[in-house]
């Protein structure tokens, strides 16, 4: 399986992903990787319904996504992996998925999180996951849309949640 893009966006598939990112990265499959979304029938259905025409979408729990990545049966997949948070990306990498770069596009603000851009808010767990991914040599870049200039996630989280 070829990874065209690994993206953290807690909305998963939406207009920008369905139109801009799919074309920019040349994928033929979208896999939304989330235990939570895979277990929520309504949310799973909504995610699958907004996939762009001609692109097959799946919603899989993390363990199943790792299995699919390793299965030679899916070697022709050119995949856009979507995640709701960086902790799930780290679980995939620890499970043997060869992610070299992660695009961070949207993480909603909630109590306990800090805004690092207009569209991205991180909490302590997110920052820890980003640091572990960075330590593995994985590029972490912020961009809402493909045409935006890349920003380094690590520069944006510098000094956050350090004790």
CA dihedral (23, 29, 35, 37) positive or negative:
positive
14 labelled catalytic: yes
Q: How far apart (Å, rounded) are the C-alpha atoms in residues 29 and 58?
A: 8
How far is Cα 14 from Cα 138, in angstroms, rounded to an integer?
Answer: 25
Query: Cβ-count burial of 61 within 10 angstroms (0-12 exposed, 13-18 middle, 19+ buried)?
Result: middle
| Catalytic residue, candidates 10, 11, 14, 101 | 14
Residues with a known catalytic role: 14
């Amino acid at each position: 399986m070829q990874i065209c893009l690994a993206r953290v966006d807690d909305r998963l598939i939406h207009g920008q992903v369905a139109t801009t990112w799919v074309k920019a990265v040349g994928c033929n499959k979208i896999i939304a990787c989330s235990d939570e979304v895979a277990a929520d029938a309504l949310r799973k259905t909504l995610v699958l319904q907004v996939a762009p025409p001609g692109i097959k979408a799946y919603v899989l729990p993390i363990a199943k996504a790792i299995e699919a990545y390793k299965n030679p049966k899916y070697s022709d997949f050119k995949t856009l992996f979507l995640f709701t948070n960086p902790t799930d990306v780290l679980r995939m990498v620890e499970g043997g998925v060869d992610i070299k770069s992660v695009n961070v596009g949207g993480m909603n603000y909630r109590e306990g999180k800090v805004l690092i851009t207009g569209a991205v808010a991180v909490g302590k767990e997110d920052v820890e996951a980003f640091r572990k991914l960075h330590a593995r040599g994985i590029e972490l870049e912020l961009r809402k849309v493909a045409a935006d200039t890349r920003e380094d996630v690590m520069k944006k989280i510098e000094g956050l949640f350090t004790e």
